[in-house]
Structure 1
Amino acid sequence: MTAALHEVSSPRAGIHWMLVTTFLFACQDSTSAILLATYPAMEVTWARYFVHLVVMTALISWRNPDLLRTRRPALQIFRSSLALGSTLFGMLGLQVMPLVDVSAVVWVTPVLVTALSVFLLGEKVSLGGWLSVLAGLTGVWVIINPTGIEFSPAMLFPFLSAWSGATYQIATRMLRLSDPPLTTLFYTAIVGVAVCSTSLPFTAVIPNARDAALMLFLGSLGVVSHFCMIRAFNAAPANVVAPFGYTALLWASLFSVIIFSAIPSTRTWTGEAMIVGAGLFIFWRERRK
């Protein structure tokens, strides 16, 4: 598994891995939405990260225990906190918004990464880049629909998930030269398990056999999806594979119809088009440099 992370650069392979990643993310969100109808968000989040931690601890202990050590523990814990924020805010969003709307807002992340890179990585963004950031955020505004009477501050949860996810990606970039990918994958779950465990005695609902299996499935999806993402970005440059992440919106729309019988609204399609267009422009601009 470790050796696989050092494969020869192959744009086609990277694209294939990203397509698998986005499908798994959509499956993960759909599974979460099913569980959230019965269980608290903290319990579902705990299950997702607990399975992740158990799997990675067993794998690394068997293959190479040295991978449990990190050269930058503070940054790993901070990144793990951001992962928890992204997951928990996303699940809270699923409780108040349709799956496809949440997925659309969360996938403004690449646009936010562009904006945050200026302040956290010292990168320069052109006027066109900033206009794309504005277009992406406007797309979020369209989907959330704050001008309607049904607006609730809770609808900001998926945007907070996207913000946490964008900062999470920045932190991941900072760690790429100090720790192996499997080490970072292991630390992803640390804070999630620690924080969510404190609430279980007060909020947990004992799951039945079917839902326990779904929780196990959710945690397994979390491990595999992040591993596939690592493979994608290892096989090809980010500006090649990242645009294909927007296929998650197609899967989310399909699952919304099949599983939840929810047909996306015109407002949602309009907002999605603005977000995707903003992200694709940013990556197109980067490839031309």
Structure 2
Amino acid sequence: MTEGKGHGRGGLYGAAAARISGAWLRLSPNHRGALWMIAASLGFTVNSAVVKTLVAGHAGSGGLDVFQVAFARALFSFALVLPFLLRAGPGALRTRHPGIHGLRAFSGAAAMICGFYAVGQLPLAEFMALSFTQPLFVTLLAVLVLGEAVRWRRWLATAVGFIGVLIMMRPGAAAFDPAALVALTSVFGIALAVILVKRLPAGESHTTMLTYFCLMSLGVTALPAFLTWRPPSLEQWGLLVAVGALGVASQAMIIRAYRAGEASFVAPFDYLKLLLAGLIGFYFFSELPGLWTLVGAAVIVGAAFYTARREAAQTQARWAAGGAPPPRQPEDGPRRP
């Protein structure tokens, strides 16, 4: 009798899973990509909120040092990457471009440390808004590092975006927070990591990039974390594990989003992070964005959105003119350490 009930429950679960799978496959590739991007946006926002909780502390418990959190993030992320590295074998670490990998990994590690510090000091919505300057920094670095030609429209959008940064930060005003500069340093590091990916040949695997990033992060944070180590509580250990898992899972969802749908359709859903950050910041941290933060964020997001749409339009134009489409690899799309 019990066995029959077990088979009945298994049959129900199997039927439900089949219906969900069928509904998912009936969606268009763009809509599947959009749902992956929405899930990634939620994952990254929750991850930032968890980091903020760990660094700033809550409910009377003191916060952990930024290097301690960054070390734990790198350690647990490496634990998740390790099975893929073992499956790929020692060849996954061999590369003809160790210098680029090293610089990319270092910039990503530095960006992670700066980002963890900034998110602990700034309102969550303000930190998230500043993160949307990444396409603007990518535009600048594409000219300086890759020698790409950028037309006046993208230069204008970049200038407008940085005006939005000035509106939000208001340097010289009493409300100016130096942590905002640290947040921008973090975004610059991420943008540099993105640009350096473009300097690597198509054959470089995602596992190789993730492994170098994790190893570099462990190397950079190990000694400072040891010197500032504070025994985490049981709850903080759980949150540290969550930071590593959410970081890797969100990155994986970003990859799936850009693999499933067109970048021009999928990318705008990333801006949901700003709304999610405002809601989470208000509910969990009693943060209410000020007028200047909202105005500056609107300008930054508008400029970043225009830049992304312009880049997508130019890519489509190159395809229409007979150019080869860019390879759809796991490395395509924005990247966060």
Whether TM-score is above 0.5 comes out as yes
Distance 1:270 1:142 in 2: 7
Do structure 1's residue 17 and structure 2's residue 36 form an aligned pair?
yes
Mapping for residues 72-111 of structure 1, pairs under 5 Å: 72-111=97-136
Do structure 1's residue 69 and structure 2's residue 88 form an aligned pair?
no
Do structure 1's residue 29 and structure 2's residue 48 form an aligned pair?
yes
Distance 2:238 2:312 in 1: 43
Determine helix, strand or coil for the equivalent of 1:39: coil
Find the partner of 2:229 among 204, 223, 226. 204
Determine helix, strand or coil for the equivalent of 1:264: coil
> What TM-score, normalized by structure 2, do the two folds share?
0.78
The answer to whether the Cα contact below 8 Å between 1:67 and 1:183 also exists between their aligned partners in 2 is no
Closer/same/farther in 2, CA of residues 256 and 73 from structure 1, 3 Å limit? same
Gaps of 5+ in 1: 1-8
Query: Aligned residue for 1:5?
Result: none
User: 1:228 Cα shift?
Assistant: 1.6
Bigger Cα displacement from structure 2, 198-207 vs 235-244: 235-244
Letter in 2 for 1:29: S
Do structure 1's residue 275 and structure 2's residue 275 form an aligned pair?
no
C-alpha distance after superposition, 1:68-87 (max 9, x if no partner): 32422222221111111211
C-alpha distance after superposition, 1:133-159 (max 9, x if no partner): 011111111221213123243331111
Find the partner of 1:182 among 196, 207, 225. 207
How many residues align structurally?
280
The answer to whether the Cα contact below 8 Å between 1:21 and 1:226 also exists between their aligned partners in 2 is yes
Distance 1:135 1:281 in 2: 11
The answer to whether the Cα contact below 8 Å between 2:108 and 2:190 also exists between their aligned partners in 1 is yes
Determine helix, strand or coil for the equivalent of 2:130: helix
Do structure 1's residue 47 and structure 2's residue 72 form an aligned pair?
yes
In terms of Rg, which structure is larger? 2
The answer to whether the Cα contact below 8 Å between 1:67 and 1:182 also exists between their aligned partners in 2 is no
Letter in 2 for 1:57: L
Runs of 4+ in 1 over 4 A off after TM superposition: none
C-alpha distance after superposition, 1:1-39 (max 9, x if no partner): xxxxxxxx9433333222222211111110000000210
Percent of residue pairs bearing the same amino acid type: 28
User: 1:237 Cα shift?
Assistant: 4.3
Distance 2:55 2:286 in 1: 17
Determine helix, strand or coil for the equivalent of 2:121: coil
Gaps of 5+ in 2: 1-27, 57-62, 315-337
User: 1:198 Cα shift?
Assistant: 1.0
Do structure 1's residue 259 and structure 2's residue 284 form an aligned pair?
yes
Bigger Cα displacement from structure 2, 121-130 vs 12-21: 12-21
Query: Aligned residue for 1:148?
Result: 173
Bigger Cα displacement from structure 2, 203-212 vs 137-146: 137-146
C-alpha distance after superposition, 1:242-261 (max 9, x if no partner): 33222211111111011101
Distance 1:285 1:64 in 2: 38
Distance 1:232 1:209 in 2: 34
Closer/same/farther in 2, CA of residues 167 and 232 from structure 1, 3 Å limit? same
C-alpha distance after superposition, 1:234-281 (max 9, x if no partner): 334444433322221111111101110111111111111101100111
Letter in 1 for 2:299: M
Query: Aligned residue for 1:122?
Result: 147
Distance 1:164 1:139 in 2: 20
Determine helix, strand or coil for the equivalent of 1:199: helix
Letter in 2 for 1:230: I
Letter in 2 for 1:69: L
Alignment root-mean-square deviation, CA: 1.9
Query: Aligned residue for 2:266?
Result: 241
> What TM-score, normalized by structure 1, do the two folds share?
0.90
The answer to whether the Cα contact below 8 Å between 1:185 and 1:226 also exists between their aligned partners in 2 is no
User: 1:67 Cα shift?
Assistant: 5.7
User: 1:223 Cα shift?
Assistant: 1.1
User: 1:168 Cα shift?
Assistant: 1.2
